[in-house]
Amino acid sequence: MNQISNDLVSNQAVSNQAASSQIVSPGEPLRFAKPHRVAFIQSSWHREIVESCRHAFLQEAAVLGIPETQVGLFEVPGAYEIPLHAQLLAKTGRYTAIVAAALVVDGGIYRHEFVASTVVNALMQVQLQTEVPIFSAVLTPQQFHEHAAHVDFFRQHFATKGQEVAQACARTLYSLDYLGSQVAAGID
């Protein structure tokens, strides 16, 4: 009985130590338990805008400990093609995370909202089926016109989204590393 108590106390100490090591200051690289490889899938529609997301993602991911050499880049014609590519990439086992980026604006108001919703819902299904985390920067603005002011605004907006999705991706991978070590050690 005493051995069980000692084991529980020991496991709790390990758990508390691991939890405290999970706190990382913003801007510091994360110390991953293993190297991670990320797939970045982007739509080619409105490429000049969506590319700002990719560039910001790559820059922020590198700061957080995922170098550009560990990111595979894939381009598809439109947002609707992203989920199938995400599923096929997840099934390869080569990627520990997948990021999707697209600007969905074509068609009437109901059509582009339907497309964006369909894409995001399909990405969630792929994530749950494959257990590979998938992050979305698939955006659909209420109003978009192809003039300089809107293009510049959305280019900057996508750069911000690129940084945010890199942070979400890196922190999720870090958390999953921690969770995996807890599961392997039998700690809850």
Structural domain boundaries of the chain?
A: 32-185
What homologous superfamily does CATH list for 32-185? Lumazine/riboflavin synthase (3.40.50.960)
- Residue of 31, 111, 155, 171 with catalytic role: 111
The one-letter code for the residue type at 132 is V
pLDDT of residue 33: 82
pLDDT for position 12: 40
pLDDT at 97: 97
Question: Residue 15's pLDDT is what?
Answer: 42
> What's the confidence (pLDDT) of residue 126?
96
Note the pTM of the prediction, 2 decimals.
0.79
Of the CA atoms within 13 Å of residue 156, those in its CB half-sphere come to 5
The whole-number pLDDT of residue 103 equals 87
Which parts of the chain register pLDDT below 70? 1-27, 106-113, 141-147, 150, 180-188
Q: What is the pLDDT of residue 3?
A: 44
pLDDT at 171: 93
Q: For residue 185, what pLDDT is reported?
A: 55
Q: Using CA atoms, how far apart are residues 168 and 80, in angstroms rounded to an integer? A: 23
pLDDT of residue 35: 86
- pLDDT of the residue at 8: 37
31 is catalytic: no
Residue 64's contacts (CB-CB under 8 Å, 6 or more residues apart) are 29, 30, 166, 167, 170, 171
pLDDT at 147: 59
